[in-house]
């Protein structure tokens, strides 16, 4: 049975059921427009039911031996491995992801589940000294309780699992809201995997809905103590504001405007390969994508010629074709916005070394250069197959241009001198940056997150413990204290 037929429901307290809203979310294939599923939205009342179920289930789960908890994640990993072909086909159909993109997403999802197995055993308590004689200070690591997770459309299966699995492993319960464009991959498919893996009912709930129906109910609700949000900085700012007003922890993984910097001593052919991947993976719909390619003027001509030549070799079209490199954008709104942005930038004086065209939601690549220093496109995240080449003179100018953005997520530096690259990387205001590699990386035990408008907090490894647990001080007085009155 197709996942789109089987899983077109809400998942609340261990039950698959329809939403009770008055309208449906229609799930479309972004490449051919095929209707994949119709899902009646969840209401604020169902959000409440999901959170209350999570609250009831969490206490017992937190008390469960972590060695027993981790068995769920071992089984979930095997389920994904056994159904990898079905999940791949679902990613291709719902996201317009290519075979290469689906393989990349599934590889990382499995890696994060492997890390969750270990994470269940990692929280440690401490005993700290006291200036008071006979006092013992115990510091416990405890689950925060219930976590709300809001995942995006670009890597929905991975980015849902990335927060859901660690939160559960550390003894929390979760309510997950996937993006309305990817309700199956980002929501109900994740629930199905954990249901089959034996996760007790109520610990993971999925509500498929939209802000038009529930407003801020998902983040204002009194039960969740932490909200993990991945998406745009505009929405992230609102999430942070509501969380602060309700004294909730907000973990925000937001957008980027990353720069891949090519220094004068770089391996040009290798830098071209890294830049093309960094810009055009998943049609450029990646927060870590290299929005800007900064090239030392002394190697600009060689780099640009080779970059454009390689981009021309990318196969554009049906993501179901294993040879395709660039498939559709997620919807027509996004495709129209990216097309309009290219047109406006060229009209403002930019030179199009390669001018893409649109066929439905599929945009072929554009490569732009000679942009004015104050061009708006240099300041924003471009979620589409558009590369911008910017020349610079010397390292100081490269740093200035790279930092001239409200974002600070990822980046890369290409150079023949690794330590030179590290010194320059330390001057770039980002949460992550890579020497002689692409800008697009995520690993389970390395802190992931950004600076400035690219978010707050970190995920992965030990950062997951900080995100999804809290510390509790319990003191024990051995003997009698002396009180002043």
| Residue 46 is among the residues annotated as catalytic for this protein | no
In Å, the largest CA–CA distance within the chain is 84
Residues 83 and 199 in one domain: yes
Per the listing, tokens 């990353």 go with 258
User: What kind and span of H or E run contains 339?
Assistant: helix 332-347
Q: Are residues 285 and 160 in the same domain?
A: no
- 12: domain CATH number is 3.40.605.10
In this prediction, residue 67 carries a pLDDT of 96
Indicate if 227 and 280 belong to the same structural domain: no
Residues 249 and 265 in one domain: no
User: What distance in Å separates the CA atoms of residue 327 and residue 321, rounded to the nearest whole number?
Assistant: 10
Please answer whether residues 381 and 362 qualify as being in contact, where contact means their C-beta atoms are separated by less than 8 angstroms.
no
DSSP 74-140: HHHHHHHHHTHHHHHHHHHHHH---HHHHHHHHHHHHHHHHHHHHHTT----EEE--SSTTEEEEEE
CA quadruple 138, 223, 56, 3: dihedral sign: negative
320 CB-near residues (< 8 Å, 6+ apart):
31, 92, 93
Q: Are residues 140 and 111 in the same domain?
A: yes
Q: Answer yes or no: is 463 within a domain.
A: yes
Which of the following is catalytic: 243, 287, 300, 381? 287
Q: Is 478 a domain residue? A: no
Looking up tokens 């005993």 gives 127
CB atoms within 10 A of CB 34: 11
pLDDT of residue 2: 84
Task: Tell me whether residue 442 is in a domain.
Answer: no
Query: Exactly one of 46, 105, 253, 300 is catalytic; which is it?
Result: 253
Say how far apart CA 163 and CA 149 lie, in whole Å: 7
- How much is the pLDDT for 280? 98
Is 253 a residue of the active site? yes
Digit-by-digit pLDDT tens for the chain (485 residues) are 489 999 999 999 999 999 999 999 999 999 999 999 999 999 999 999 999 999 999 999 999 999 999 999 999 999 999 999 999 999 999 999 999 999 999 999 999 999 999 999 999 999 999 999 999 999 999 999 999 999 999 999 999 999 999 999 999 999 999 999 999 999 999 999 999 999 999 999 999 999 999 999 999 999 999 999 999 999 999 999 999 999 999 999 999 999 999 999 999 999 999 999 999 999 999 999 999 999 999 999 999 999 999 999 999 999 999 999 999 999 999 999 999 999 999 999 999 999 999 999 999 999 999 999 999 999 999 999 999 999 999 999 999 999 999 999 999 999 999 999 999 999 999 999 999 999 999 999 999 999 999 999 999 999 999 999 999 999 999 999 989 99
Positions of E strands within 129-241:
135-143, 146-150, 173-177, 204-206, 226-230
72 shares its domain with 179? yes
Q: Please give the pLDDT value at position 474.
A: 98
Q: Give the pairing of strands 10-12 and 15-17.
A: antiparallel
Domain range for residue 21?
A: 3-254+454-473
> Are 221 and 354 members of one domain?
no
Whether 126 and 193 map to the same domain: the answer is yes
List, as one string, the DSSP characters of 342-388: HHHHHHTT-EEEE---EETTEE--EEEE---TT-GGGTS---SSEEE
Write out pLDDT tens, residues 329-365.
999 999 999 999 999 999 999 999 999 999 999 999 9
Q: What's the pLDDT score for residue 1?
A: 45
For residues 222 and 297, membership in a common domain is answered with: no
| Strand duo 451-452 + 407-408: pairing | antiparallel
Neighbours of 17 (CB within 10 A): 14
Task: Indicate if 412 and 468 belong to the same structural domain.
Answer: no
Q: How far apart are CA 154 and CA 103, in angstroms?
A: 14
Determine phi and psi for 391, rounding to 5 degrees: -80, 155
How do residues 437-452 score in pLDDT, each as one tens digit?
999 999 999 999 999 9
Residue 371: the pLDDT is 97
The domain total for the chain is 2
Residues 160 and 303 both lie in one domain: no
pTM: 0.96
Tokens 């690993």 — which residue? Answer: 443
If asked whether residues 326 and 362 sit together in one domain, one would say yes
């Amino acid at each position: 049975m197709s996942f789109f037929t089987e899983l077109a429901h809400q998942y609340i307290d261990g039950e698959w059921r329809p939403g009770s809203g008055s309208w449906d979310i229609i799930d479309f294939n972004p490449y051919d427009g095929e209707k994949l599923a119709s899902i009646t939205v969840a209401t604020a009342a169902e959000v409440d039911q999901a959170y209350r179920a999570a609250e009831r289930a969490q206490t017992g789960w937190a008390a469960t031996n972590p060695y027993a908890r981790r068995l769920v994640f071992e089984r979930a990993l095997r389920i994904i491995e056994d159904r990898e072909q079905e999940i791949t086909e679902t990613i291709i159909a719902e996201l317009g992801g290519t075979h290469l993109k689906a393989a990349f997403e599934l590889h990382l999802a499995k890696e994060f589940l492997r890390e969750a197995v270990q994470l269940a055993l990692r929280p440690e308590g401490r005993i700290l000294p006291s200036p008071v004689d006979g006092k013992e200070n115990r510091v416990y690591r405890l689950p925060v309780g219930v976590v709300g997770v809001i995942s995006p459309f670009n890597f929905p299966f991975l980015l849902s699992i990335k927060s859901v699995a660690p939160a559960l492993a550390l003894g929390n319960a979760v309510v997950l809201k996937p993006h309305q464009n990817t309700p199956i991959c980002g929501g109900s498919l994740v629930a199905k995997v954990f249901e089959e893996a034996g996760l007790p009912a109520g610990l993971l709930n999925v509500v498929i809905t939209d802000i038009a129906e529930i407003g801020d109910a998902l983040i204002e609700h009194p039960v969740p103590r932490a909200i993990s949000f991945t998406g745009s900085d505009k929405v992230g700012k609102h999430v942070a504001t509501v969380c602060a007003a309700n004294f909730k922890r907000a973990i925000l993984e937001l957008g980027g405007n990353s720069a891949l910097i090519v220094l004068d001593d770089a391996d040009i052919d290798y830098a071209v390969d890294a830049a093309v991947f960094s810009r055009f993976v998943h049609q450029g719909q990646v927060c870590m994508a290299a929005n800007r390619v900064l090239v030392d003027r002394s190697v600009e001509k060689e780099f640009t010629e080779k970059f454009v030549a390689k981009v021309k070799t990318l196969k554009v079209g049906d993501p179901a074709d294993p040879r395709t490199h660039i498939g559709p954008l997620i919807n027509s709104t996004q495709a129209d916005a990216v097309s309009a942005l290219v047109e406006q930038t060229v009209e403002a004086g930019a030179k199009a070394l390669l001018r893409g065209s649109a066929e439905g939601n599929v945009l072929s690549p554009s490569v732009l250069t000679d942009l004015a220093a104050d061009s708006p496109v240099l300041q924003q995240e471009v979620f589409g197959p558009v590369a911008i080449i910017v020349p610079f003179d010397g390292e100081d100018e490269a740093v200035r241009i790279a930092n001239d953005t409200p974002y600070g997520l990822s980046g890369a530096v290409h150079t023949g001198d690794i330590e030179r690259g590290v010194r320059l990387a330390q001057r770039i205001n980002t949460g992550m940056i890579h020497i002689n590699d692409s800008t697009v990386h995520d690993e389970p035990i390395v802190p992931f997150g950004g600076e400035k408008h690219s978010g707050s907090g970190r995920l992965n490894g030990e950062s997951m413990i900080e995100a999804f647990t809290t510390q509790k001080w319990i003191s024990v007085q051995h003997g009698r204290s002396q009180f002043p009155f």
